[in-house]
Amino acid sequence: MVRIKDIADELGLSTATVSNVIHGKTKKVSKETVKRVQALLEEKQYIPNMAAVLLAQNNSKIICLVIADHEKYEDKLLQDPFLSALLDELSSQIEESKYFMMIKRTREINEVIRYASMWNMAGLILTGFCKQDYNELRKNMHIPFVVMDGFFEPDSKCANISIDNMDGGYQVGKYLIKKGHRKVLFIADNEVDMDYERYMGLCKAFREQGYNIELSIQFLKVGLVYEERLEDYHKLLQILKNDKQITAIFCASDAYAIEVMNELIDHNVKIPEEISIIGFDDIPAATLVRPKLTTVQQDIRLRAREAIRFLNEGDKGECIHLPVTLIERDSVKSL
């Protein structure tokens, strides 16, 4: 294996000069010397340590996707359908922009600060942290970063990319009312942020049509851990047994919708003949289940494109709000 010292000795140069040429620091090196070094590097088929090269440059060209390793992922974070789809789109956009992609999973925002400094990153894309965490990043870092679905106001070199969650819930409400449904069960794992906005959009649609929200919409909060959710899905069966007026279930995510469908089918409940199901996200599995899932589609490719655009061009803070679209398939019945 050829070393920098071998190249330097053969050309009669210092290792520092050869290293500067390899790392692109050639302002104080003559053009003739640069040519000699590059020619011999090519002849000897020298393979640089890319990590060292990137770290020596002012911009490493590394963009890191940082994901909060929440307990709800149950140590299977990258198997989450939404995150895996986001990862796929980001990898394409990052490669197309001639950057390198890195992935970091953590629960500690201070670890992100150390990690970004260690690798001299060009930018960060973060998801799953809270407002306080993002504010901590702004105080301690100067590189640009993009947040997916953050509930905070971005400032310089920071962007927040979200979707119109409330409109998504509103579209679901209008659609279900049009289909003849008058009482809906909403299922989510929390009552804040994006899930709550989807719920409020659903309520808005029913309220506009003159329906009493307390009589028309019921909220079922399910556990973050799968075993806990199973217990709550058993409660769901009891709710449906006791209240025959509920004819549709709106889940805050497709993942939950598919779990609900499986639970109902296991108990011989026919979908959509006996109960209609609608999800949110339009993950790939939405078209693989039977019946195919009616859902609200968010454009993950556009999310990725906007994230890389901001990291390339953004200086001032941006709040990017992307539209959503209801996709009708087979899991909702007309009454």
Residue 224 resides in a domain: yes
- Based on the fold, state whether residues 210 and 293 are members of the same structural domain: yes
**Domain match, 171 and 278 both:** yes
- CA atoms within 13 A of residue 135's CA, in its CB half-sphere: 6
* pTM of the predicted protein model: 0.81
Does 127 reside within a domain? yes
Nearest Cα neighbor of 277 from 167, 175, 198, 170 is 175
| Tens digit of each residue's pLDDT (9 = 90 or more) over 289-308 | 999 999 999 999 999 999 99
My answer on whether 227 and 253 are in the same domain is yes
CA 232 centroid distance within chain: 26
In Å, how far are 21, 123, 149 from 159, measured between CA atoms?
Answer: 36, 11, 10
Angstrom distance (rounded) from CA 83 to CA 332: 26
Is 31 in the same domain as 106? no
pLDDT digits (tens, 9 = 90+) for 170-221: 999 999 999 999 999 999 998 988 999 999 999 999 999 999 999 999 999 9
Across all residues in the chain, what is the average pLDDT?
90
Residue 216 CA to residue 98 CA, distance in Å, equals 51
Residue 13 token pair: 């140069």
C-alpha distances in angstroms, 225 versus 24, 70, 219?
A: 50, 10, 18
Question: Within a domain: residue 56?
Answer: no
In-domain check, residue 234? yes
Indicate if 75 and 21 belong to the same structural domain.
no
Q: Is 138 left (phi over 0), alpha (psi -120 to 50) or beta?
A: alpha
Residue 215 is assigned to a structural domain of this protein: yes
Q: Would residue 328 count as lying in a domain?
A: no
Structural domain range at position 290:
165-297
Residues 154 and 36 in one domain: no
Q: How many domains does the chain have?
A: 3
Would residue 329 count as lying in a domain? no
The region, left, alpha or beta by phi > 0 then psi within -120 to 50, assigned to residue 119 is alpha
pLDDT digits (tens, 9 = 90+) for 76-134: 888 888 889 999 999 999 999 888 899 999 988 888 888 887 777 889 999 988 888 88
Say if residue 85 is in the same domain as residue 43: no
Contact 333, 272 (CB under 8 A): yes
| Residue 34 is assigned to a structural domain of this protein | yes
For the chain, the first-to-last Cα distance in angstroms comes to 74
CATH number at residue 100: 3.40.50.2300
pLDDT interval class at 23 (50, 70, 90) = confident
Task: Give the Cα separation of 335 and 247 in Å (integer).
Answer: 9
